[in-house]
């Protein structure tokens, strides 16, 4: 008679459940079973110290306090260059924090920066402000140079006219020109436009 797999299983279960067989725990080889992993401590950006065994999903994460550890509050944290989401003291998501490259001035100096929303907004504000200042400075310098050329030409024409007409003017000491502030420059342009109307 040919025995089937079901017959073999029935025989095994009958032997296993027999009152004559005593089950004994076998000795465990410590090389096969991993030792208890020591917890890792990290410090968050706000100075909070957290403790965890592995930075993986479904792992518990605790806030280290003098009166004892407690589950970390729900939220998103940056831990060891990873974005970590915590819910009820358990890690629910882990992803690498993206890095962005920031070009400083025109020297092509590259600096890696963690790209959080606040940092991106602040960097964008700084970049826009720097570009506007440079553009305004270039326009202002151009206007100052044009006015300087205009007044130097008028002064030269006046000197030529005084030489040919015989009118003598006492020497006048000119005060050094000071740069106009933005408000003074705008007011001067408005006054000139009003005169031309």
The mean pLDDT value for 30-49 works out to 74
The number of folded domains in the chain is 2
Contact partners, residue 49, CB within 8 Å, separation at least 6: 41, 42, 43, 63, 64
d(CA 51, CA 74) in angstroms, rounded, equals 15
Determine phi and psi for 66, rounding to 5 degrees: -60, -35
Same-domain pairing of 105 and 149: yes
Residue 93 included in any domain: yes
Kind plus residue range of the DSSP H or E element containing 41: strand 40-43
Asked if the structure places residue 19 within a domain, the reply is: no
DSSP codes joined into one string, 69-119 = -EEPPSEEEEETTEEEEEETTEEEEEEEPPEEEEEETTTTEEEEEE--HHH
- For residues 83 and 115, membership in a common domain is answered with no
Looking at the structure, tell me whether residues 86 and 121 fall in a common domain.
no
**Residue 9: inside a domain, yes or no?**
no
pLDDT one-digit tens code per residue, 79-117: 888 888 988 889 988 887 666 555 555 555 555 555 567
Whether residue 115 sits in one domain with residue 71: no
In a domain, 173, yes or no: no
Residue 143 within a domain: yes
Percent of the chain with pLDDT over 90: 8
Residue 77, domain extent:
39-97
């Amino acid at each position: 008679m040919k025995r089937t797999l079901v017959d073999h299983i029935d025989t095994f279960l009958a032997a296993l459940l027999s009152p004559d067989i005593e089950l004994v725990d076998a000795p465990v080889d410590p090389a096969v079973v991993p030792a208890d992993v020591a917890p890792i401590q990290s410090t968050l950006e706000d100075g909070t110290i957290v403790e965890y065994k592995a930075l993986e999903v479904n792992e518990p994460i605790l806030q280290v306090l003098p009166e004892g550890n407690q589950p970390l509050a729900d939220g998103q944290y940056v831990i060891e260059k990873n974005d970590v989401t915590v819910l009820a003291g358990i890690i629910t998501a882990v992803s690498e924090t993206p890095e962005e490259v920031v070009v400083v001035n025109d020297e092509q100096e590259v600096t890696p920066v963690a790209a959080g929303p606040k940092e991106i907004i602040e960097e964008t504000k700084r970049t826009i402000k720097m570009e506007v200042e440079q553009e305004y400075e270039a326009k202002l310098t151009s206007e100052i140079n044009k006015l300087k050329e205009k007044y130097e030409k008028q002064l030269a024409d006046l000197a030529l006219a005084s030489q040919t007409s015989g009118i003598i003017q006492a020497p006048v000491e000119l005060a050094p020109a000071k740069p106009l502030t933005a408000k003074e420059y705008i007011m001067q342009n408005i006054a000139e436009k009003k005169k031309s109307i």
